[in-house]
Amino acid sequence: MRVTQGMLSGNMLRNLSQSYSRLGKYQDQLATGKKINRPSDDPVVAMKGMFYRTNLTEVEQFKRNFSEAYNWVENTDAALDKATEALQRIRELTVQASNGTYEESQRQAIGDEVAQLKEHLVTIANTKVGDKYIFNGTNTLTQPVQIDSDGKITGTPTGQQEVTIELAKGIYLPVNLRPDQVFNQDFFDKIEKLQGNLENGGSTTDIGQSLADIDENLKAILSSRSEIGARTNRLEMMEARIDEQEVIANRILSDNEDADIERVITDLKTQESVHRAALGVGSRIIQPTLMDFLR
């Protein structure tokens, strides 16, 4: 087969073009830190990258969900803590008022304080996180407890289910309490019964019997706080697990997509040397022609 000058020149230019392409690939890897910059570079790596990135996005969303869950349970626990303090104060006042040495005016003064504490409990029951009420189940846009101008309770929580947040794949955790657990109608009826006995001259026996009612309210609050504490502990354990999953997902994604910088630099230097050698050989292949001597 006859090899012409044109064939030699064409082969040289094609090889130089391929060498430039390899140099460009290594430069892109150094600039981006990634093995591939388009799916056509390696379809398998690209497909795996899409799957790993989806998994990482899910984990990151779960971490954001944990922040929302903590916001709910911590606000719930803080509200119940203040409700416990108010009920304990009501209990102290009840013990005082059941003392036979107290006069009717003194009991009425205690009744006034109990009324104020009841209204304080109403504000606690109507606690909001952002624009959502936390003690009305999933009916978060409706105020759970209503009170009229005379201080009478006219409505209590109507929600039927707890608010749940997905904290892992398919795992939902309640972040508030059932509406019937605390601040229900019975809860406020017991306080209003005590208030009525104090303000209307009830007997010390009637007032003393309210101690059992207040203790039941306290028991309900403490039981709810215990439940919230258990959920907080579970939240912390689940969050630790999600943190580990995030580390693993990031590592797998890095192993799949990130370039080995040391190796890329070595390959780039090697390709530069090869390219220079190719240019030197090419300069010898393109021999002088007759035109170079026609001057």
Could you tell me what percent of the chain has a pLDDT over 90?
A: 33
Domain presence at residue 42: no
d(CA 288, CA 278): 18
Tokens of 104: 């009717």
215 with 242, same domain: the answer is yes
Calculate the average pLDDT of the chain.
84
d(CA 111, CA 105): 10
27 with 112, same domain: the answer is no
Task: Indicate whether 277 pLDDT > 90.
Answer: no
- pLDDT of 293: 56
**Total domains in the fold of the chain:** 2
- pLDDT of 287: 61
What would the pLDDT profile of 156-214 be if each residue is shown by its tens digit? 888 778 899 999 888 999 998 887 788 988 999 999 988 888 888 777 777 778 888 99
Domain presence at residue 43: no
Task: Indicate whether 26 pLDDT > 80.
Answer: no
**Residue written as tokens 């391929």?**
18
Task: Indicate whether 230 pLDDT > 90.
Answer: yes
d(CA 173, CA 168): 9
Domain presence at residue 242: yes
- pLDDT of 284: 67
107 with 167, same domain: the answer is yes
96 with 158, same domain: the answer is yes
135 with 115, same domain: the answer is yes
d(CA 100, CA 209): 14
Strands of the chain (E only): list them. Answer: 128-129, 132-133, 146-147, 153-155, 164-168, 171-174
